[in-house]
Amino acid sequence: MPRAENPKALASLQQQLKEKMQAWPLRVTLSSGTCGQASGSLDVLNALKTHINDAGLRDKVHLRVTGCHGFCQHEPLLILEPLNVLYCRVTPADAGEIVSESLVKRNVIERLLFHDPVSGKTVRQEADLPFFAKQDRDLMGQNRVIDPLDIGEYIASGGYSALAKVLTSMSPDEVLDEITSSRLRGRGGGGYPTGRKWEQCRAAPGTEHYVICNADEGDPGAYMDRGLLEGNPHAVLEGMIIGAYAIGSRQGYVYVRNEYPLAVHHTRRAVEQAKEYGLLGEAILGADFSFDVSVVRGGGAFVCGESTALMASLEGKVGEPRAKDVHTVEKGYLDQPTNLNNVETWANVPKIILNGPSWFAAKGTENSKGTKIFALTGQVKNTGLVEVEMGTTLREIIFDIGGGPRNGNTIKAVQTGGPSGGCLPVSQFDLPVDFDALTEAGSMMGSGGMVVMDESACMVDVAKYFLNFLQDESCGKCVPCRVGINRMLEILTDFTEGRGTTEQLDLLEDLAWTVSVGSLCALGKTAPNPVLSTLRYFRNEYESHINDKRCPAGVCRALVHYTIDTEACTQCGACAEACPHDAISNEDEYVINDELCRKCGICQEACPADAIRKA
Amino acid sequence: MPKMVTITVDGASIRTPEGTSVLLAALEAGICIPNLCYMPDVTPLGACRVCIVEVVQNGRSKMTASCTLEAEEGMVILAHSEAVLRARRNIVELLLAEAPNSRAIQDLAARVGVERVRYPMRNKDCVLCGRCVRACDEVWQSKSLGFVGRGRNRHVALPFNVRPEFCKRCNACIDLCPMTITPCPGPMTEGAVCGLCASQLTMTENAPDTCVWCELGRGFQCARWQLRGVLDPA
């Protein structure tokens, strides 16, 4: 493969690749990230290949396999150009028809188009999707035009020109200035100004400076980093190379969790290809600047997403956080100045360099600039990766982009920021997504998980779920986190099993405060957030668990009772037959024995007369 | 000669070499900051969080363990603010509920003013302070002990649970363990603190933030007693 010896060679390579790409008469794009593959995109790919070969179109069709486009709900997606049509939920069985109808005859297959459940309309083009309409897809949008395993496509779409610009016309200080004045803030959750972090790292004395990309994403319900790293690994690499140039680093690491095999594979391939093209390694693009990147797989611990734990893990030690009174920009990996940023932060860097800091700073709110990707999941019609301008309200994301509640239920809350974040009620839905606004409301931007919950969710149970997760994922080093979370969980379990008292509620608040101030690292410090935020906005649910021994959502099994409405009961006996625990007996009429009942709800499903009530 | 810096702890100016642990500097100056997992001359772990203090910087205060905090010029420390005392009490209460039968933990609880335990008692024989692990590793260069597992499964273990050949049988792990001290004869009622040694606290009434070489500190092997070379428990 041609090695780009200097920026000029890169530019001419870019031109060649672009022309080659446009020369294809037919272009087919299949999304095949982890979400696409889970929906069977690999089978679709094989079927498409077979049919394209059979139809003799092999030399005419450019079949591009990309990462996730964001619309995960309707994967696998297929985009045909120049017909400019989007097919959703494509199956291998559709492949033959797609080739014969759409590729050969250029007809649109109505059946495969997206039917909007909100407006009832049929959408033909990708650009008309209501899901994408309110989004600002600076980062995610690129996934659609790039085959992550082919550096050529990234270069053809303008990739690495930011690096060329930096190496030809900018000094490290100028790069720092651009990033600082763009006011980019870290996307990993903390929201620390990226420019300031770089400056501090550059200024810190040390024999070697390191840059690290933190791709150890582990929040339940969040997968933005996976989407980016799988779909566009070169953007992250390019950001890292520019960062390393500004900071004065010669070695970088991508710490990616091993549970993301596709991301690991794509990143490794990207590093190899970048080296082949002379974009990584010695004398990058002929400039007096060398930088190398190694891909390191995580060991499966959530806490390793914490910067000091990540660096300990990178050093080969047990992944445990240390006190952060001395920052990692001064003493990080191997006690040297280390700059760690999140995947999304790195991916933003080339865009800022190319379009200028004012372009970036023009987007967003007063103190949160640019766009942010959220993983919208839970009880909404459209789930997927949503990239919006900072300052978009939660309501717009959940109702306009997400399409509102599923199954006609009412939305009750949204959980943002993963286990470190909190639950916000509908009354807070007009909050803009902004680092400070969300923190003030008792939640957190976090890395960008957004789990929408409807009335079927019990908030005490939700808090319990997150504590359970954190209890398992805490490293166990410090007392407030290890014992405190365990005790909080103990109290919540008492609530959900009907043993709760009002004193315990005060104790819970006192304990939550202790854990948040006393813990060693951010995992512990933010661990009480799910409890504190649900206590703040859904205190009535806690109170009904404690005082009335009742779970309003009917989730907490110990507090749920099934009874048979004797008036509606037709004495058919279907419930008694269905009950796996023999808890229903016929004594003149059918009754449920509460002691034997395990609250599985099978009887309710079996009853043809709807006579079984849950209370 | 290391650079000397001045830090302020509870209003008292302390001159100390730069980078010294704030806890050590305060203890040497006679200020009482109760501590459990800290041992002088061994890498601080910051695990028990009992020595928590407030650091005031640029008008903002943050809580952190003083053992892992390195002294810097002009640092302002509050070791006995209301929030610190509350957090410290709550943390020791958590420890006490884990291991109510340990004399060291009972003494520590009496020292920081825990009056009752609001959690169901457990009877663990380790609070994971890591004194044994670090003494074995750093003082005796043996590395026969280590932490195993994560979260609630974390425990101290020998390599593959077999006493290794390189164990020097120095018994430092046992001497330093807050769990091996002979239990005091106080009542072990559920939810209550022993309280027999509370009389020790009368000495501190007039100067609650000053070290008075209390016997309680000897009980939980306070680093100030360790500094004096008195490692043997009373």
Taking only the tens place, the pLDDT of each residue in A461-492 is: 999 999 999 999 999 999 999 999 999 999 99
Contact flag B63-A517 (C-beta cutoff 8 Å): yes
Which of A397, A419, A454 is where one domain is finished? A454
Beta carbons of A210 and A336 less than 8 angstroms apart: yes
Query: Are residues A329 and A475 part of one domain?
Result: no
Please give the pLDDT value at position A1: 55
**A279 in reach of chain B (CB within 8 A):** no
Q: A316 lies in a domain?
A: yes
Partner residue facing B90 (CB), from A323, A326, A514: A514
Rounded Cα distance, A286 and A278, in Å: 8
Q: Is the pLDDT of residue A606 over 80?
A: yes
Distance (Å) from the C-alpha of residue B113 to the closest C-alpha of chain A? 16
- If asked whether residues A344 and A312 sit together in one domain, one would say yes
Q: Residue B28's pLDDT band (boundaries 50, 70, 90)?
A: very high
pLDDT of the residue at A385: 95
Domain co-membership, A210 together with A353: yes
Contact (CB, 8 A) for A547 and A553:
no
Residues of A in contact with B98 (CB under 8 A): 483
Q: Which residues in chain B have their CB less than 8 angstroms from residue A518's CB? A: 49, 52, 63, 87, 90-91
Q: How far is A302 from chain B (nearest CA, A)?
A: 11
A16 and A105 in a single domain? The answer is yes
Our CA angle for B182, B187, B189, nearest 5°, is 120
pLDDT band at B198 (very low <50, low <70, confident <90, very high): confident
Q: Which helix (H) or strand (E) holds B76?
A: strand B76-78
Q: Are A192 and A216 found together in one domain?
A: yes
Q: Is there a domain that residue A481 lies in? A: yes
- The tokens describing B162, both together, are 């077999």
Tell me if B47 and A323 make a contact (CB, 8 A cut-off).
Answer: no
pLDDT at B233 over 70: no
pLDDT at B231 over 70: no
What count of CB pairs under 8 Å joins A to B?
99
- Among A303, A326, A486, beta carbon nearest to B152: A486
**Residue A483: inside a domain, yes or no?**
yes
CA dist A490 and A508 (Å) reads 10
Q: How far apart are CA A372 and CA A369, in angstroms?
A: 9
Region A197-203: mean pLDDT is: 96
Q: Which domains does chain B have, with CATH numbers?
A: 4-123+187-227 (3.10.20.740), 131-176 (3.30.70.20)
CA dihedral A116, A122, A124, A127 (to 10 degrees): -40
Given a cut of 70, whether residue A50 has pLDDT beyond it is: yes
> Do A237 and A347 form a contact (C-beta atoms < 8 A)?
no
Is the separation of the CB atoms in B165 and B156 below 8 Å?
A: no
> A556 in a domain, yes or no?
no
Q: Where are the beta strands (DSSP E) in A383-486?
A: 384-389, 411-416, 422-425, 449-454
From B109's Cα to the closest Cα of chain A, the distance in A is 15
Cα angle for residues A227, A406, A430 (degrees, 5° grid)? 75
**Alpha-helical runs (H) found in A340-450:** 343-355, 357-361, 394-395, 435-440
Q: Is residue A148 part of a domain?
A: no
Measured in angstroms, the CA of A462 and the nearest CA of chain B are apart by 20
Give me the residue from A510, A519, A520 closest to B90, CB to CB: A510
B94 in reach of chain A (CB within 8 A):
yes
Q: Look at residue A159 and tell me whether its pLDDT is greater than 90.
A: yes
Bridge partner residues of B78 (DSSP) = B54
Helix (H, G, I), strand (E, B) or coil at B45: coil
For the residues A180-201, what does the mean pLDDT come to?
Answer: 94
A487:B68 CB<8 A: no
For strand A338-342 and strand A292-297, is the pairing parallel, antiparallel, or unpaired? unpaired
Q: Is residue A145 part of a domain?
A: no
Q: Do A517 and B52 touch (CB under 8 A)?
A: yes
User: Region A113-130: what's the mean pLDDT?
Assistant: 87
**% of chain A with per-residue pLDDT over 70:** 100
Nearest to A478 among B46, B87, B119 (CB): B46
Measured between CA atoms, how close is A475 to chain B, in angstroms?
5
- Interface contact B118-A507, CB threshold 8 A: yes
Residue A369: which of A140, A591, A193 has the closest Cα? A193
Same domain assignment for residues A206 and A273: yes
pLDDT at B64 over 70: yes
pLDDT beyond 70 at B186: no
Helix, strand, coil shares, percent, chain A, to 5: 45, 15, 40
pLDDT digits (tens, 9 = 90+) for A243-280: 999 999 999 999 999 999 999 999 999 999 999 999 99
> Residue B234: what pLDDT?
39
Both tokens assigned to A205: 């004395």
Q: Is A245 exposed, middle or buried (0-12, 13-18, 19+ CB in 10 A)?
A: buried
Structure tokens that stand for B223 in this block: 């680093």
For residues B142 and B167, the answer to whether their CB atoms sit within 8 Å is yes
User: Residue A135's pLDDT is what?
Assistant: 93
| Cβ count within 10 A of residue A83 | 16
Closest Cα in chain A, distance from residue B69 (Å): 6
- Which residues of chain B are within 8 Å of residue A483 when distances are taken between CB atoms? 94-95, 97-98
* Average pLDDT of the segment spanning A192-213: 96
pTM exceeds 0.90, yes or no: yes
Closest CA to A615 of A560, A541, A534, A545: A560
Are A346 and A262 in the same domain?
A: yes
Same domain for A399 and A316, yes or no, is no
C-alpha A141/C-alpha A164 separation (Å) is: 22
CB atoms B70 and A301 under 8 Å: no
For residue B152, give Cα distances in angstroms to A70, A487, B30. 37, 11, 36
Residue A282 lies in a domain: yes
Give domain status of residue A52, yes or no.
yes
Nearest CA in chain B to A478: B47
Contact (CB<8Å) B152/A484:
no
Q: Establish if A484 touches chain B: CB-CB under 8 angstroms.
A: yes
Structure confidence at residue B207 as a pLDDT band (50, 70, 90): confident
Range of lowest pLDDT (A422-426, A557-561, B5-9): A557-561
Domain at A173, CATH number: 3.40.50.11540
Mean pLDDT of all residues in B27-51 = 94
User: In this structure, what token pair is assigned to residue B116?
Assistant: 């009752």
Burial of A428 (0-12, 13-18, 19+ CB in 10 A): buried
Task: Please choose, from the candidates B36, B23, B53, B33, the residue with its C-alpha nearest in 3D space to the C-alpha of residue B208.
Answer: B33
Report the residue of chain B nearest A301, measured CA to CA: B150
pLDDT at A586: 87
Same domain as A567, residue A534? no
**In a shared domain, residues A316 and A395:** no
Predicted confidence band of residue B184 (pLDDT cuts 50, 70, 90): low
| B91:A510 CB<8 A | no
pLDDT for A117 equals 81
Q: In what order do the strands lie in the sheet with A371-378?
A: A384-389, A371-378, A449-454, A411-416, A422-425
- Interchain contact B81–A (C-beta under 8 A): no
Q: Do A483 and B94 touch (CB under 8 A)?
A: yes
What does pLDDT average to over chain A?
93
Q: Which residues of A touch B46 (CB under 8 A)?
A: 322-323, 477-478, 520
Q: What is the pLDDT of residue B125?
A: 86
Domain end position, chosen among A454, A472, A500: A454
Mean pLDDT, residues A75-96 taken together: 92
Domain holding A538, by residue range, is: 459-546
Q: Residue A81: which CATH number? A: 3.40.30.10
Specify the higher pLDDT residue, B26 or A325.
Answer: B26
Looking at the 3D structure of chain A, how many domains does it have?
5
pLDDT band at residue A44 under the 50/70/90 scheme? very high
Which pLDDT score is estimated for A447? 81
**Residue A110 sits at the chain B interface (C-beta within 8 Å):** no
The number of beta carbons lying within 10 Å of the beta carbon of residue B41 is 9
| Same domain, residue pair A445 and A582 | no
Q: Which residue of B has its CA nearest to A320?
A: B150
Largest Cα span, chain A: 92
pLDDT at B156 over 80: yes
Q: Report the percent of chain A where pLDDT is more than 90.
A: 80
Of residues B42, B50, B70, B65, the one with CA closest to residue B176: B42
Task: Supply A306's token pair.
Answer: 């914490």
Same domain, A540 and A575: no
Instruction: Label residue B185 by pLDDT band (50, 70, 90).
Output: low
Q: What's the rounded mean pLDDT across residues A212-221?
A: 92
**Which residues from chain A sit within 8 angstroms of residue B18, using beta carbons?**
none
The whole-angstrom separation of Cα A275 and Cα A298 is: 23
CB A584 within 8 A of CB A562: no
Q: Is the confidence metric ipTM above 0.90 for this complex?
A: yes
Structure confidence at residue A542 (pLDDT): 96
Is the peptide bond prior to A82 cis by the omega test (within 30 degrees of 0)? yes
Angle formed at CA A97 by CA A95 and CA A102, multiple of 5 degrees:
100
Contact criterion met (CB below 8 Å) for A31 and A74:
no
Instruction: Please give the full DSSP string across A206-271, using - where no structure is assigned.
Output: -S--EEEEEE----TT--HHHHHHHH-HHHHHHHHHHHHHHHT-SEEEEEE-TT-HHHHHHHHHHH
Write the DSSP string, B126-191. -----HHHHIIIIIS-----EEESSGGG-EEE-GGGS--TT-----HHHHH-TTSSPPPSS---TT
Closest-CA distance, B182 to chain A, in angstroms, reads: 23
Instruction: Kindly report the CATH number assigned to the domain that includes residue A594.
Output: 3.30.70.20
Q: Tell me what the mean pLDDT of segment A520-542 comes to.
A: 94
Query: A509, exposed or middle or buried, with CB in 10 Å at 0-12, 13-18, 19+?
Result: middle
Domain end among A307, A337, A361: A361
Helix (H, G, I), strand (E, B) or coil at A411: strand
